[in-house]
Amino acid sequence: MTEQKRALVTGLTGQDGSYLAEFLLKKGYEVFGLVRRTSSPRLDRVEPILDRVNIVYGDLLDQSSLQRVLGNCMPHEIYNLAAQSFVPTSFAEPVLTAEVTALGATRLLEAVRHVHPGARYYQASSSEMFGAVRETPQNEMTPFVPRSPYGVSKLYAHWTTVHHREAYGIFACSGILFNHESPRRGEEFVTRKIARAAARISQGRQTELRLGNLEARRDWGFAGDYVRAMWLMLQAEQADDFVVATGETHSVREFCERAFARVGLDWEAHVVTDESFLRPLEVDLLVGDASRAREQLGWSPTVSFEGLVDMMVDAELGCAQ
Ligand code: NAP
Ligand code: F7E
């Protein structure tokens, strides 16, 4: 009988952590989820699977906790999804962002190197690393020009991942994922904010939606598709870096148009531009070329932009909070 595979997921309580844990459970894995201690638990996204995942306490800020967890779980696969992931917060709290998002990955990779070097490691890298894009669409060879402390931190973590692969032979992959969304997206991110507002305004529970830059363009996909790409990377024969994206780009304005149309409203009657949501620096345009993931991993997205917006608005209509 073959041994049951074990996976450690950091960032279990986040959007991607919850989808990935569900995906791995379906594949028959024993799942360990790294959770940091907080005064009130943040386990709502993983509530339905809590009886099937092993919660292990630790923090990317604490090296010894990572070594302890790795030594106890001895996972075959490690998915490092934990991060300070909200770009505006990274401008306000750049040092914390670097500690968690940049050095946190380094701590975990060093723990892998010293405690369990045979494990396969996935790093949650980001299209934010492309920043002021030098070519369009962006692929694995596109130069990185980050435009936020978050992007800079992710870039540090990306190169640390590559370094651990090349210097120490660790099976470490960096997934350069473009924006991916779902009904479980944090409420401050623009897609969830718009979907929620469209639903609430249509139900008479909100009157306006205040947004920043409507012209920014993003390559938005569905989180459920993107966690499959993470897993595929760790099943490959060789560790490598992969762009994961839909190949389509849409503006925040277009997202508003579709979301409000879904509930029979004209977005222009409800959206107010508010300068307080503008960033010190903006990433104007992102669109990815996922050819390598398609050709080498057999990955492709299953949810269109329109399908994603509709899914998110419909989910908001279903929850009357
Ligand atoms: P998310 O919802 O913000 O989740 C982040 C997770 O990290 C949460 O579980 C959070 O725990 C945890 N965390 C934060 N600080 C920590 C610390 N010091 N120690 C341990 N855990 C900590 O993010 P997501 O959207 O699921 O994204 C997953 C990963 O992919 C992140 O690294 C993100 O930067 C990256 N990424 C996301 C996208 C995207 O479009 N979603 C695109 C590219 C890359 P709490 O619940 O306790 O806060
Ligand atoms: O902003 C504009 C904003 O915060 C998208 C993270 O998951 O994806 C995410 O980062 C765009 C930006 O995501 C508002 O200026 C306008 O141009 O939803 P967002 P993000 O910054 O692209 C990357 C790939 C990650 O890795 C990150 O972890 O929307 N925008 N008005 C607004 N954005 C927000 N949040 N709120 C507004 O009111």
- Please tell me the residue having the least CA distance from ligand 1 atom 33: 85
| Confidence bin at 41 (pLDDT 50/70/90) | confident
User: Distance, CA 42 to ligand 1 centroid (Å)?
Assistant: 13
Distance from C-alpha of 241 to C-alpha of 160, rounded to nearest angstrom:
12
- Please tell me the residue having the least CA distance from ligand 1 atom 25: 15
pLDDT of residue 165: 98
Distance from C-alpha of 154 to C-alpha of 100, rounded to nearest angstrom:
10
- Please tell me the residue having the least CA distance from ligand 2 atom 13: 189
| Confidence bin at 247 (pLDDT 50/70/90) | very high
Ligand nearest to the CA of 194: 2
Ligand nearest to the CA of 122: 1
Q: pTM higher than 0.85, yes or no? A: yes
pLDDT of residue 93: 98
pLDDT over 80 at 126, yes or no: yes
pLDDT over 60 at 321, yes or no: no
Of all residues in the chain, the percent with pLDDT exceeding 90 is 98
Q: What is the pLDDT of residues 300-313, one digit of tens each?
A: 999 999 999 999 99
Catalytic site positions: 126, 128, 150
- Please tell me the residue having the least CA distance from ligand 2 atom 32: 190
Catalogue the long-range contacts made by 26-29 (C-beta closer than 8 Å, 24 or more residues apart): 27/231, 28/4, 29/4, 29/5, 29/77
Q: Do domains 6-180+220-244 and 186-218+249-281+302-320 have the same CATH topology?
A: no
What does the pLDDT average to over 173-184?
99
Q: What is the pLDDT of residues 49-62, one digit of tens each?
A: 999 999 999 999 99
What does the pLDDT average to over 12-22?
98
Return the domain boundaries, the chain: 6-180+220-244, 186-218+249-281+302-320
Contact between 8 and 116 under an 8 Å Cβ cutoff? The reply is no
The DSSP call for residue 25 is: H
Q: Which residue among 10, 12, 16, 219 has the greatest number of ligand 1 atoms within 8 angstroms of its CB, and so is best to mutate?
A: 16
Tokens of 219: 């390559």
Superfamily of domain 6-180+220-244: NAD(P)-binding Rossmann-like Domain (3.40.50.720)
Cα dihedral: 50, 55, 60, 62 (round 10)? 150
pLDDT over 60 at 20, yes or no: yes
Q: What is the pLDDT of residues 257-303, one digit of tens each?
A: 999 999 999 999 999 999 999 999 999 999 999 999 999 999 999 99
74 Rama sector, left if φ>0, alpha if ψ -120 to 50, beta otherwise? left
- Residues lining ligand 2, judged by CB closer than 6 Å? 85, 87, 126-128, 178-179, 188-191, 193, 211-213, 216, 218, 252, 277, 279, 282
User: Distance, CA 175 to ligand 1 centroid (Å)?
Assistant: 14
Distance from C-alpha of 147 to C-alpha of 319, rounded to nearest angstrom:
36
What does the pLDDT average to over 9-18?
98
What average pLDDT does the structure give for the chain? 97
pLDDT of residue 2: 85
Max Cα-Cα span within the chain: 63
User: Distance, CA 36 to ligand 1 centroid (Å)?
Assistant: 12
| Confidence bin at 1 (pLDDT 50/70/90) | confident
Superfamily of domain 186-218+249-281+302-320: UDP-galactose 4-epimerase, domain 1 (3.90.25.10)
What does the pLDDT average to over 154-161?
99
Contact between 210 and 288 under an 8 Å Cβ cutoff? The reply is no
